[in-house]
Amino acid sequence: MTHVSVAVIGAGPTGMTVATLLAQYGIETLVLERWPDVYPQPRAVHLDDEVYRIVDRLGVAGEFAKVSRPALGLQLVDEQLNVMARFHRGPGRCGFPQANMFDQPELETLLRDNASRYPQIDLRAGVEVTGVEPGRITLADGAVIECDYILGCDGANSLVRRSIGVAMKDLGFDQRWLVVDIATTADLRQWDGVYQVCSTRRAATYMRIGDARYRWEFQLLPGESASDYGTLEALRPLLAPWTEEPDLELVRVTEYTFRALLAQRWRHGNTFLLGDAAHLTPPFIGQGMGAGMRDAMNLAWKLAGVLHGELPPEVLDTYERERKPHARAMIRLALMVGRAMTSGGRLGDLLRRVVVPRLHLIPGLRTKMVDSTTPALKVRDGRVSRSRLTGRLYPGAPWGNGFAVVSARPLSDAEQAHADACGATVQIVSGATADWLRGQTLIVRPDFTVARRIS
């Protein structure tokens, strides 16, 4: 019987991210994927600057830049495409654009090619997992693999989640949408950002995702299905507000049910859930895949630390504790945008015209809509001083994949001793990053999260 230390089930963006990060720490993984190749259908089209930095940590930021395009932001429009509110996106605090458009299969191909450079990753594609028990995986051909840790990155219908008896909590959203991908070299001459059409009749989303690729999403009305819109001719009335360009190629049209679900538990013993296996969100703010990559970033250094004997096993309890509230907050934000787009009948349409242009004035919403920064993690560290920055993502330049002590001035002997004790790299920063520190010296974790203040 084969024995591996870490088995990753699913080679989607979450599985490939966690396997690559673990490989960077020298941890060997066996990645099991049902399909022989990258899933070819377009799904995710947007990621933010925080997730781009994870792409950078994986080592493919340069290649990603070649297949993605920065977007100008998000605008809420009415059915005639009159702008009600516009939220700009530009260069992000993390050193990458705040909004980036891309095609998920292209990103997944990059992640797979990159993973092939790591001898620690054994990716077996075309292999279906049919059974999961604690420390034991069964494959479709009957083979059994024993493993110390199982990482369930197996998507929305996760077998791993069912096997450990975890239910999904329904956060109360269920809408059928038509997803349309179009290729054309014609310039549609639209604002180069995401349009959210707010309408109780039929909400919609439009965005340019590549030099010659466009995505529309339309809420389906009762009784409608994707088969009603299988041709360009049938789609023309829906596309008309944006374009009547004759030279369009229909890449794909399909139906998705957008839902908001959160796994009740993300861990059972040494089995963990990551990505869509742990949370599902409607794509209105383009954060679903990013959430899976954030999960991977959060868990990888902890698991590597435990496997190397450098961290106590209890650190693994913090994975769910930190990631679940963040995932919940991002789903709620997506629901808020979704409801702003679709709810309320004619009164809703009227209210939207009054309220939406003022959304940026509402405290709490302001930072979420105007800025791409996501909520702080609820980091609990029994040791010494917390800071108002604890749990926030450090915006400075990358330094490798260990801990860092960051300060705007040379470290004192006591601070240097702290740095030495956790094997941290010392970063003396200036400019905007120094301002962000507000005079504090901080310990930053390998996942860029501020752990605590040391002075």
Ligand X SMILES: Cc1cc2nc3c(=O)[nH]c(=O)nc-3n(C[C@H](O)[C@H](O)[C@H](O)COP(=O)(O)OP(=O)(O)OC[C@H]3O[C@@H](n4cnc5c(N)ncnc54)[C@H](O)[C@@H]3O)c2cc1C
From 33, 49, 63, 447, residue interacting with ligand X (rule: CB under 6 A): 33
What one-character DSSP code corresponds to residue 300? Answer: H
Query: Residue 111 Cβ, how far from ligand X at the closest point, in Å?
Result: 10
E strand or H helix at 434: helix 431-437
Does residue 338 bind ligand X (CB under 6 A)? no
Query: Residue 450 Cβ, how far from ligand X at the closest point, in Å?
Result: 24
Can you tell me which residue has the tokens 């191909």? Answer: 109
| Max Cα–Cα distance, the chain, nearest Å | 72
From 72, 200, 256, 270, residue interacting with ligand X (rule: CB under 6 A): 256
From 29, 196, 287, 441, residue interacting with ligand X (rule: CB under 6 A): 287
Q: How far is residue 386's CA from residue 54's CA, in Å, rounded to a whole number? A: 25
Query: Residue 173 Cβ, how far from ligand X at the closest point, in Å?
Result: 14
- Please count the helices (runs of H) and the strands (runs of E) in the chain: 12, 23
Does residue 47 bind ligand X (CB under 6 A)? yes
Does residue 145 bind ligand X (CB under 6 A)? no
Distance of alpha carbon 133 from its chain centroid, rounded? 28
User: Closest CB to ligand X among 197 and 454?
Assistant: 197
Does residue 326 bind ligand X (CB under 6 A)? no
Query: Residue 14 Cβ, how far from ligand X at the closest point, in Å?
Result: 3
User: Closest CB to ligand X among 70 and 292?
Assistant: 292
Can you tell me which residue has the tokens 């509402």? Answer: 362
Site size for ligand X, by CB under 6 A? Answer: 35
Does residue 289 bind ligand X (CB under 6 A)? yes
Q: How far is residue 46's CA from residue 207's CA, in Å, rounded to a whole number? A: 10
C-alpha pair distances (Å), 255 with each of 159, 218, 285, 320: 23, 9, 19, 31
Let me know the angle formed at the C-alpha of 24 by 18 and 30, rounded to the nearest 5 degrees: 50
Does residue 153 bind ligand X (CB under 6 A)? yes
- Kindly indicate which of the ranges 36-44, 164-172, 221-229, 391-399 contains the residues binding ligand X, using the contact rule CB under 6 A: 36-44
Q: How far is residue 121's CA from residue 19's CA, in Å, rounded to a whole number? A: 7
Distance of alpha carbon 370 from its chain centroid, rounded? 19
Residues between 157 and 186 with contacts to ligand X, criterion CB under 6 A: 159, 179
Does residue 34 bind ligand X (CB under 6 A)? yes
If phi > 0 it is left, if psi is from -120 to 50 it is alpha, else beta; for residue 271 that is beta
Please give the full DSSP string across 199-255, using - where no structure is assigned. -SS--EEEEEEETTEEEEEEEPPTT--GGGG-SHHHHHHHHTTT---S--EEEEEEE
Please state, as a whole number, how many other Cβ atoms lie within 10 Å of the Cβ of residue 434: 16
User: Closest CB to ligand X among 192 and 435?
Assistant: 192
Query: Residue 291 Cβ, how far from ligand X at the closest point, in Å?
Result: 7
Q: What would the x/- binding string for ligand X be over residues 182 to 221, using CB under 6 A?
A: ----------------------------------------
Query: Residue 438 Cβ, how far from ligand X at the closest point, in Å?
Result: 31
CB-based burial, 443-452: b 16+ in 10 Å, e otherwise: bbbbbbbbbb
Does residue 129 bind ligand X (CB under 6 A)? yes
DSSP-derived 3-state class of residue 372: coil
Does residue 155 bind ligand X (CB under 6 A)? yes
User: Closest CB to ligand X among 9 and 27?
Assistant: 9
Does residue 9 bind ligand X (CB under 6 A)? yes
User: Closest CB to ligand X among 32 and 306?
Assistant: 32
Does residue 89 bind ligand X (CB under 6 A)? no
Does residue 395 bind ligand X (CB under 6 A)? no
- Kindly indicate which of the ranges 31-39, 77-85, 304-312, 332-340 contains the residues binding ligand X, using the contact rule CB under 6 A: 31-39
DSSP-derived 3-state class of residue 151: strand
Q: Which residues bind ligand X (CB under 6 A)?
A: 9-15, 32-35, 39, 43-47, 104, 128-129, 153-155, 159, 179, 256, 275-276, 283, 286-290, 292
